[in-house]
C-alpha cells in the first residue's frame, strides 16, 4: 500500500537558474482560523508593522491607513502621473493631510477577493523595510477602513491582518517594483508555504546560496496568460494578471480520469483552465472533474483496504485513519497527478491531498466548485504547502518541487 506515496518524480529534471543578486526574504505564517497565509512588513515613518495576507492573484500591495496611521515620508501619486494608469479616479479629501486623506491623488483599486470586493483608496509611495533593509519609493494602495461599515475592506482577513500583499503579474506588484529599483533583482519570486510554523517568500527567486532546495528535482512548466481578466474589476480587453498553468489531464493512482478535457483549456470567454490561488484553502474543481476524481480516489482507496466513513463537509470522501498507512509523504493514499505537456507532472501525495478532520478521520481535501465555475481548477493552499514554487516572470515559467517531504523536509526547515 505504501507504494503510492513513495514514487519520486523522475521526469523532466531542471536545474535552478539561480539569480545573481541578493534577494529579500519574508517570513510566511499560516493563520490557524482562516488557513490564510500572512507576512509582515514595516511601512512608513515612523515604521509601522503591518501583517498582510499573501494573495497570488492580488494586483497591488495595500494596507489600512485608518485614523491611527500617519507617515511623514508618504507622498501621494498625482493624478496626472504616467504611473497612474488605472481607472480608480482622482481622489480628494477634506480632512488633515495624511496617508488616505490627500488631494489630487491617483485612486487605487483596493481589492479583497475574499469578499469579491473593491474599495476606494489612494495610491502613494513610501518607504518600506524588509529584514531591516530600507527600500524607498514603493508604490502601494491605502484605504481608510474607518470610512466603511465594519471595516469592510478587511472582512474575512485574519483579525490582526491589515492589508493584502498582492503578487500578481502587474506593474505595481512588489517583486516587479523591486526588480526595477536599484536592487536590480530579477522579476521572480518563490513561495514556500508552511503547513505549520514559518514558511518563506523569496523575492528575486529561489536563494542562490542555499543548499536546502538544491537537493530537489524541479520541474519547469510555462505560466500561461488568460487573455480575459478574472479580477473583480477590470478594463474591457484586459488580460488576467493571475497565474494560469496548462494542466492537460489528471490522474488518480496512476490512472487518467475520464472527463471532457476541453474544460481544462481557456475558452473564448476566458472560462476554464487552471490557476493557482493562495486565498482558497483547498483546490476547487469543476463538478465534472470533481465527481470522477472522488469516485476514482474512493475506488483505489478501497482496493487498498482503506475504509470509507461518513462525509465531513465540505469534503465528500472521508476515511478511517486506522486503515491508512503513513509514509514519508503523509498518508499512503492514491497519488493525484496534474499532468502537463510532454508527460511532466505535479504529484500530490497524502500530506497535500488529505485533511485531518478529527482524530479518527481524514478526508480528501478537494472541494466541488459546481457546474459553472469561471476557472475549472483552482489549486488552493493546502495543496501548495511544503512545496517550493518559483514564479519566474522573466521567462514566464513556473518552477516547482512537488512535496519537500520527498527529501524529508518542510518549508519551516529552511534556514536563512
Query: What is the contact surface with ligand NAG in residues (CB under 6 A)?
Result: 34-35, 70, 72, 92-98, 101-103, 114, 281
Peptide bond into 343 cis (omega under 30): no
Sign of CA dihedral 402, 405, 409, 413: positive
Burial string for 305-337 (b: 16+ CB within 10 Å, else e) reads ebeeeeeeeebbbbbebeebeebebbbbbbbbb
Burial string for 130-154 (b: 16+ CB within 10 Å, else e) reads beeeebeebbbbbbbbebbeebebb
Between 5 and 191, name the residue whose CB sits nearer to ligand NAG: 191
Between 101 and 293, name the residue whose CB sits nearer to ligand NAG: 101
Please state the closest distance from residue 331 (CB atom) to ligand NAG, in A: 19
Between 76 and 186, name the residue whose CB sits nearer to ligand NAG: 76
Q: Give the number of other CB atoms < 10 A from CB of residue 408.
A: 10
Distance CA 164, CA 50 (A): 10
Q: Is the distance from CB of 349 to CB of 335 less than 8 angstroms?
A: yes
Please state the closest distance from residue 282 (CB atom) to ligand NAG, in A: 8
Peptide bond into 4 cis (omega under 30): no
Please state the closest distance from residue 276 (CB atom) to ligand NAG, in A: 15
Between 92 and 416, name the residue whose CB sits nearer to ligand NAG: 92
User: C-alpha distances in angstroms, 197 versus 24, 29, 193, 386?
Assistant: 19, 6, 10, 11
Assign residue 66 a region: left if phi > 0, alpha if psi is -120 to 50, beta otherwise? Answer: beta
DSSP 120-157: EEEEEEEEEEETTEEEEEEEEEEE-GGGSGGGGGGTTS
Between 18 and 97, name the residue whose CB sits nearer to ligand NAG: 97
Between 141 and 380, name the residue whose CB sits nearer to ligand NAG: 380
Between 162 and 300, name the residue whose CB sits nearer to ligand NAG: 162
Please state the closest distance from residue 32 (CB atom) to ligand NAG, in A: 8
Please state the closest distance from residue 114 (CB atom) to ligand NAG, in A: 6
Please state the closest distance from residue 158 (CB atom) to ligand NAG, in A: 10
Please state the closest distance from residue 35 (CB atom) to ligand NAG, in A: 4
Please state the closest distance from residue 107 (CB atom) to ligand NAG, in A: 15
Between 95 and 370, name the residue whose CB sits nearer to ligand NAG: 95
Amino acid at each position: 500500500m505504501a507504494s503510492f506515496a513513495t514514487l519520486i518524480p523522475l521526469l523532466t529534471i531542471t536545474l535552478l537558474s539561480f539569480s545573481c543578486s541578493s534577494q529579500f526574504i519574508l517570513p510566511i505564517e499560516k493563520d490557524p482560523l482562516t488557513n490564510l497565509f500572512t507576512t509582515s512588513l514595516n511601512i512608513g515613518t515612523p515604521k509601522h508593522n503591518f501583517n498582510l495576507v499573501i494573495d497570488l492573484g492580488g494586483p497591488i500591495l495595500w494596507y489600512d491607513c485608518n485614523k491611527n496611521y500617519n507617515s511623514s515620508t508618504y507622498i501621494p501619486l498625482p493624478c496626472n502621473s504616467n504611473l497612474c494608469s488605472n481607472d480608480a479616479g482622482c481622489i480628494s479629501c477634506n480632512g488633515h493631510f495624511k496617508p488616505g486623506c490627500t488631494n489630487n491623488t491617483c485612486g487605487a483599486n483596493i481589492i479583497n477577493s475574499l469578499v469579491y470586493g473593491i474599495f476606494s483608496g489612494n495610491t502613494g509611495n513610501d518607504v518600506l523595510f524588509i529584514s531591516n533593509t530600507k527600500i524607498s519609493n514603493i508604490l502601494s494602495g491605502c484605504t481608510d477602513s474607518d470610512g466603511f461599515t465594519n471595516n469592510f475592506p478587511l472582512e474575512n482577513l485574519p483579525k490582526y491582518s491589515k492589508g493584502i500583499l498582492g503578487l500578481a503579474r502587474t506593474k505595481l506588484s512588489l517583486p516587479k517594483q523591486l526588480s526595477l529599483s536599484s536592487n536590480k533583482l530579477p522579476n521572480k519570486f518563490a513561495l514556500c508555504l508552511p503547513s505549520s510554523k514559518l514558511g518563506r517568500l523569496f523575492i528575486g527567486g529561489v536563494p542562490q546560496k542555499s543548499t536546502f532546495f538544491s537537493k530537489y528535482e524541479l520541474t519547469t512548466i510555462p505560466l500561461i496568460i488568460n487573455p480575459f481578466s478574472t479580477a473583480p474589476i477590470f478594463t474591457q480587453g484586459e488580460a488576467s494578471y493571475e497565474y494560469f498553468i496548462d494542466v492537460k489531464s489528471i490522474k488518480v493512482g496512476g490512472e487518467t480520469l475520464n472527463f471532457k478535457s476541453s474544460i481544462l483549456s481557456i475558452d473564448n470567454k476566458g472560462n476554464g483552465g487552471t490557476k493557482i490561488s493562495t486565498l482558497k484553502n483547498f483546490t476547487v474543481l469543476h463538478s465534472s472533474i470533481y465527481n470522477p476524481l472522488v469516485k476514482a480516489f474512493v475506488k483505489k482507496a478501497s482496493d487498498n483496504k482503506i475504509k470509507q466513513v461518513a462525509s465531513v463537509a465540505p469534503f465528500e470522501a472521508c476515511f478511517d485513519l486506522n486503515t491508512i498507512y503513513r509514509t514519508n509523504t503523509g498518508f499512503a493514499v492514491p497519488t493525484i497527478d496534474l499532468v502537463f505537456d510532454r508527460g511532466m507532472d505535479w504529484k500530490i501525495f497524502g500530506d497535500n491531498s488529505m485533511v485531518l478532520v478529527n482524530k479518527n478521520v481524514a478526508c480528501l481535501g478537494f472541494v466541488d466548485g459546481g457546474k459553472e465555475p469561471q476557472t475549472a481548477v483552482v489549486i488552493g493552499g493546502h495543496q501548495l504547502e511544503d512545496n517550493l514554487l518559483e514564479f519566474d516572470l522573466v521567462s514566464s515559467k513556473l518552477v516547482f518541487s512537488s512535496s519537500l517531504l520527498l527529501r524529508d523536509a518542510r518549508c519551516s526547515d529552511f534556514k536563512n
